Amino acid sequence: MAVSLIIMAAGRSRRMNQNKLFLNYDGQTFIERALSLALSVTVEERILVINSADIQRLTIPDNMKIVINNQPEKGQSHSVSLGTKAAKGTGYLFLPIDQPLLTVTVLETIIEKASSTNIVMPEYKGSVSSPVYFGQRYRRELIGVKGETGGRSVRDAHSDHWLKVAITEEILQDIDTQEDYLRLIQ
């Protein structure tokens, strides 16, 4: 599979009340961890969707395609649409920056199960989570998403094409609030 890995880094971090990209965990910022993770897996291409203000604060690896989201107020769906439009692969793996415990193994397992017609995501204790892979079959729908739900609306409309990857550790935790972050660093 020619997978396009799309790092979702243009959010407004409203629930956190500070920019999540630059939160620190284990000696790296969240965005540094996501970039490092993306570089550690074999994919067709790596795309970083980010706003213009935040990119000025980063050193971006040479083999990372940059997509600027100048309208983050349009919600997560706008980043999904922009990233999908820029992608050349036959499938799209959306990597959030707010899951700092994710491992290369999780991403590799998702990529191994990927096809042009399925939707692959990790599952922990009966709940599905990010990162989510969408086969090329969903490209048009992903480009057309609107609002705050990102690819969830596409994912949920096609549950018959889901392939869930069981995860046995609590490494899928989203860090969305100050309380989440404090639990993570303690």
Cα–Cα–Cα angle for 86, 150, 176, nearest 5°?
A: 115
Q: Give the pLDDT confidence of 11-66 residue by residue, as tens digits.
A: 777 777 778 999 999 999 999 999 999 999 999 999 999 999 999 999 899 899 99
Q: What is the DSSP string of 155-168?
A: HHHTGGGEEEEE--
Q: What is the CATH number of the domain that holds 94?
A: 3.90.550.10
CB–CB of 100/25 below 8 Å?
A: yes
Q: Give the chain's domain count.
A: 1
CA-wise closest residue to 42 among 89, 100, 102 = 89
- Residue 147 has which token pair? 């609002």
Q: Is pLDDT above 80 for 80?
A: yes
Task: Report which of residues 147 and 43 the model is more confident about.
Answer: 43
Query: What residues make up the domain containing 31?
Result: 3-185
Q: What percent of the chain has pLDDT over 90?
A: 82
Is pTM beyond 0.85 here?
Answer: yes
